[in-house]
Amino acid sequence: MLYQLTHIKHYYENKIVLDFNSLQISQGEIIGISGKNGSGKSTLLRLLAFLESPTFGEVKYFGTSRTQIAILLPEIQLLSRSVRANLEYILQIRHQPPNPQKIADVLKLAGLEPKTFLERKHYELSSGEKQRVGLAQRLLLEPKVLLLDEPTNSLDHLGLKTLSEAIQWCHQEYNTTIITISHDKKWLEKNSQKLLKLHFGELINQKEANLLSHNWSKNQNGEKYYDFGNGAILELPQSKEIDLREGIFIHQDHILLHCDQHPSFEAVIIGIRTLANRTDEVLLEIALGKEVLKKYIPKEQIPHFQILQTIAISFDTTQIAQANQK
């Protein structure tokens, strides 16, 4: 394990921007994080880079040194010098001798031809070119952790391809843990081993989460309801203020299972999976209408459930509404 974050709550003034129980990151993972503006993505990266401390909770880093962590922010600040001088400065602050070949190599990896760009002044660079120089600087550091904050901004199709190749090179060369936040969901999917989403400050693993975004509607009073299909409709009271554009997240704890008869929804278990990152729990995949919900249960409860078993489920609608309008 490289990072362990526990019981994280982080506020700006009186507004909570991060609110999740745990996050574990292993050495060599490539993680993509999406979420709308203001969801806490950049704040999370700043916590991982130790540029900020959480208001509550703990961030543990088990690497050799925090100097192994490199972060690339959206606004690149370069020295008022040439590209070469900006790259040489990175080696200088690490007390390393000048290395012209290494500088040329990382600049090319970042998508800039050394012969053309090494002597260019900072003011001669476009925003996309500055972003690439910033990436080359981070590659020079041979980081164990590379944190990328919206690196796809200002990049064209060729730039995106080059960025992907540079990330893969860094990962293969140094076994770097790479964590990228971006609004470009397609690019994240192609370039991440694990996809997370920040939804009102809560981290969601998109492969294991219940993020419902397709069939929400609202009644005459403005309250939201979700059509699972086959007549299964979930009405959500106190939901007038919820923004449906990002979907609604249903937390594991807000899905209740009932093995006996219960005035709720009838569903069918279609999968029971063990997960490497959860040794004490298993994941139930539950078909409700045309949707598949996911619910963790303790391993000792496995004997009570089996594939194709019909069960009753209900939802804590009050908690769901509150969790989606923080």
Q: Does one domain contain both 181 and 69? A: yes
What number is the average pLDDT over the span 59-65?
94
**Assigned domain for 131 exists:** no
Among candidate residues 164, 189, 205, the one where a domain is terminated: 205
CA atoms of 20 and 178, how far apart (whole Å): 21
Q: Does one domain contain both 54 and 162? A: yes
**Assigned domain for 7 exists:** yes
In contact, 108 and 100? CB cutoff 8 Å: no
Question: What single letter denotes the amino acid at residue 160?
Answer: L
What number is the average pLDDT over the span 263-274?
90
What number is the average pLDDT over the span 225-254?
84
CATH of the domain at 149: 3.40.50.300
Domain of residue 34 covers 3-79+140-205
Q: Does one domain contain both 230 and 280? A: yes
Q: Which of 225-234, 238-247, 283-292 has the lowest mean pLDDT?
A: 238-247
**Assigned domain for 132 exists:** no
What number is the average pLDDT over the span 179-199?
91
Q: Does one domain contain both 217 and 284? A: yes
What number is the average pLDDT over the span 130-155?
93
CATH of the domain at 274: 2.40.50.140
In contact, 118 and 105? CB cutoff 8 Å: no
Q: Does one domain contain both 254 and 276? A: yes
pLDDT at 35: 86
pLDDT at 313: 93
pLDDT at 278: 73
**Assigned domain for 133 exists:** no
Q: Does one domain contain both 174 and 227? A: no
Q: Does one domain contain both 267 and 227? A: yes
Q: Does one domain contain both 16 and 35? A: yes
**Assigned domain for 122 exists:** no
3-state secondary structure of 164: helix
CA atoms of 78 and 65, how far apart (whole Å): 25
In contact, 60 and 3? CB cutoff 8 Å: yes
Q: Does one domain contain both 221 and 280? A: yes
With 0.85 as the threshold, say if the pTM is over it.
no
3-state secondary structure of 227: strand
**Assigned domain for 123 exists:** no
Q: Does one domain contain both 281 and 216? A: yes
pLDDT at 261: 66
* pLDDT confidence band for 258 (50 / 70 / 90): confident
Among candidate residues 189, 205, 221, the one where a domain is terminated: 205
CA atoms of 27 and 30, how far apart (whole Å): 9
Cα separation values, 128 from 44, 131, 221, 266, Å? 24, 5, 47, 53
Span 107-118, pLDDT tens digits:
999 999 999 999
Among candidate residues 187, 205, 223, the one where a domain is terminated: 205
CA atoms of 270 and 101, how far apart (whole Å): 56
**Assigned domain for 296 exists:** yes
Q: Does one domain contain both 48 and 181? A: yes
**Assigned domain for 275 exists:** yes
Q: Does one domain contain both 152 and 222? A: no
217: left (phi over 0), alpha (psi -120 to 50) or beta: beta
The mean predicted confidence, pLDDT, of the chain is: 90
**Domains: count for the chain:** 2
Span 275-312, pLDDT tens digits:
776 788 999 999 999 999 999 999 999 999 999 999 99
